[in-house]
Every structure is written in C-alpha cells, then in structure tokens.
Amino acid sequence: MSGVAVRFKATSGRVNLFNLSPAPGSTSTQKRLGRGRSSGLGKTSGRGHKGQKARAGNGKPKAGFEGGQTPIVKLFPKRGFVNQNAKTYAPVNLDRLQHWIDQGRISSSPEKPITARELLMSGCIHQVHDGIKLLGDGAEHLKTAIHITPSRASQSAIRAVEKKGGTVFCKYYNDLALRDCVKGRTDRTEAAPTRKTDILWYTSWRNRGYLSPTALSKMPVVEERWKTLAKQLLSFKTQEYEKTK
C-alpha cells in the first residue's frame, strides 16, 4: 500500500456504523422563511397580509376562541352534572342466562359459580363495564338451579334464583380486580370496598353481600381474608365513642 488509506467497504447485507443512513423519505430539509419570493416562502413568510395570525409573537389563540364574539360553548345552556362515582353495570337477565345453559354454553356449581369471566367468554355479555348486574326479567323461563357471583343483583332476581335452589352472592370488584377476574388471574389480592355505600351494600344479607355474616356461613368457598374484612368493616356498628361533657 502506498500510504493512501483504503476505506473498508461492507459486504451486502451487513450493517455497520459508517453505512447507516435514514430511510428514504423519512427526513426533509428545514423550512427556510424569508429567503426571497422565488422560494415560495419569502416576503410575508407564508403568513399572508396583515391580520391576527400575521403578527409576530401573537402565538396561537386558545381552542374555542372565535375572534371576540361569544363562543358557541357559552351560548348553549348547561343542565345537570356528571357523577364521578357512577358505575355502569352489564345487565344479565334470567331468560338469557337460561338460554345459554340450555345450549350448553355455560354451567355452574356451588364450588364454581358463574362470574364475569364465564359470561364474557361464553358470549352472554359483550363487555363487563364496571361489573355484572343480575336482573329478574324472564324469571318465568328459569328452570335450572344456577350459582352466580355478580357485582349486583336485583331483589326479584335473587328471589327467582333461590326459589329454584340456586345461590346469588354479590362480590365487590374494583377496576383491577375485575380485570384479573376476566383474565383468570389469582396471584393478586383483591381489593376490599372502601366507600361507605359499598361497605353497607356488601355487608348486607338482604343484598346477598359476600361480606355479610350470613353469606360467610352459607358460601361453599370462603377466604379467610373475607372473615377478617367482615369483622373490620362491621366494627363501626358496635363501637362506642366517648361523649364530651
């Protein structure tokens, strides 16, 4: 070699640092403003003649600004409010549930009740939303003893199911617990109700809450944690507070 550095050429299909380049069409040259009329972006630099958007330092008007006139959002009246604690339950009626059982698409037993996972996998519901609510429509078509664990249940549905020898136990699910239930995960501890309305609901036997003492004595499968939770959540009924003199 005569002192001239020979550049190494990579073989076809081999990637090296010196032959890397952006994909064709992925980059573009910088837009240069005010460089003569022949560039297409000279003189007014693409802003046009005068007006609010042609001024320097004006920035962009906020969304909904209509040049000073009353915005349309202020012209329409407002009614009501949005309840931040509202929940949307996926309804399941007894006649539809009986139809799924007759087709062999879903089954239940006291040790393995119907949950949101079985209802979703079988196509009985298309989305779990914030939980499952069992309704009593079509109770006259129910002829099978079913065992189900929804989030909520109406009184008519509870009476119809128990009349046929089935069981209904309402269980609390937050977003994460409901997602684990649908996916079949059991490695995480399920959340307990924290709001007062939820505590009163799931500790009441009238609603067939799973944390009520009667439900804990009748359910075939009971976790030890549920018994502890039931004592803790119901302790406020027996607590006594010192009265200020």
pLDDT tens per residue across span 85-119: 899 999 999 999 999 999 999 999 999 999 999 99
pLDDT in tens, 31-80: 999 999 999 999 999 999 998 888 888 777 888 999 899 999 999 999 99
User: Alpha-carbon distance 73 to 220, whole Å?
Assistant: 56
Average pLDDT value for residue range 123-145 = 95
Confidence (pTM) = 0.69
- DSSP string over the chain: --SPPPPPPPPTT---GGG--PPTTS--PPP--SS-GGGTS-TTTTS-SSSGGGSTT---PPTT--TTSPPHHHHS---S---TT---BEEEEHHHHHHHHHTTS----SSS-B-HHHHHHHTS-S--BT-EEEE-TTGGG--S--EE--SEE-HHHHHHHHHTT-EE-B----HHHHHHHHHT--SSPPP---SHHHHHHHT-TTTTBTTSHHHHHH-SS--HHHHHHHHHHTGGGT---PPP-
Q: Does position 23 have pLDDT exceeding 60, yes or no?
A: yes
Residue % of the chain over a pLDDT of 70: 95
Distance of CA 237 to the CA centre of its chain: 33
Task: Say what the pLDDT of residue 53 is.
Answer: 83
